[in-house]
Amino acid sequence: MVGTVERAARLAEQHLATALPRRWQHVRSVAAKAQKLSPLVGQDAETLIAAAWLHDVGYAPEIVATGFHSLDGARWLLRHGAADRRLASLIAHHSCASYEADERGLGQVLRSEFPQEESPTSDALWYADMTTGPDGQDLAVGERLAEIRRRYGPDSIVTRFWQRAEPALLEAVSRTQDRMAAYPM
């Protein structure tokens, strides 16, 4: 599976580093945080780290299809044999993506193509993403949500979906923090 992590890192770099350098900085930091969190997920460590590398690949201009990065990235990864169904599903549903899918009218599509997993692995991915700012800086989840709202503005679809998604996100973050407290890192 280490090959999976290495391949994920290469794919992310190939599609994000030049085209979207700020997004690339975020992804690199999310992957580093996932690496630190990996003891919390046991045998899923490589899956968590690979998902962290690939979670935003759907923003790459050559991958965008629907404009919904979680779905676009997961579909592209499956189509190109770069992810198995589980890894693609973790990416498709990362960080409350089902709420954004509903806002975009893609909720049924997302759920029919990719099952949503509720596990320490998905929680850790959400935690790593939602405690990492757009430039790779560490942020508390509340700071990250405020940053997203400022960046996208009050009328954005992204801001609207976060109003509904915030409780589910905070629960996943809290579960990860509880695991971190029980497993000193």
Note the pLDDT tens digit of each residue in 85-122. Answer: 999 999 999 999 999 999 999 999 999 999 999 999 99
* Residue 114 DSSP SS3: coil
Average pLDDT of the residues of the chain: 96
Q: Give 149-177 pLDDT, tens digit per residue.
A: 999 999 999 999 999 999 999 999 999 99
Structure tokens at 73: 């990235």
* Residue 138 DSSP SS3: strand
Q: Give 24-79 pLDDT, tens digit per residue.
A: 999 999 999 999 999 999 999 999 999 999 999 999 999 999 999 999 999 999 99
pLDDT at residue 1 in the model: 47
- Sorted by sequence, the CB contacts under 8 Å of residue 141 that are 6+ apart come out as 127, 130, 131, 169, 170, 173
Dihedral angle, C-alpha 45, 35, 83, 16, nearest 10 °? 180
Give me the amino acid identity at 40: L
pLDDT at residue 183 in the model: 85
Give the pLDDT band of residue 138 (cuts 50, 70, 90). Answer: very high
pTM of the model: 0.95
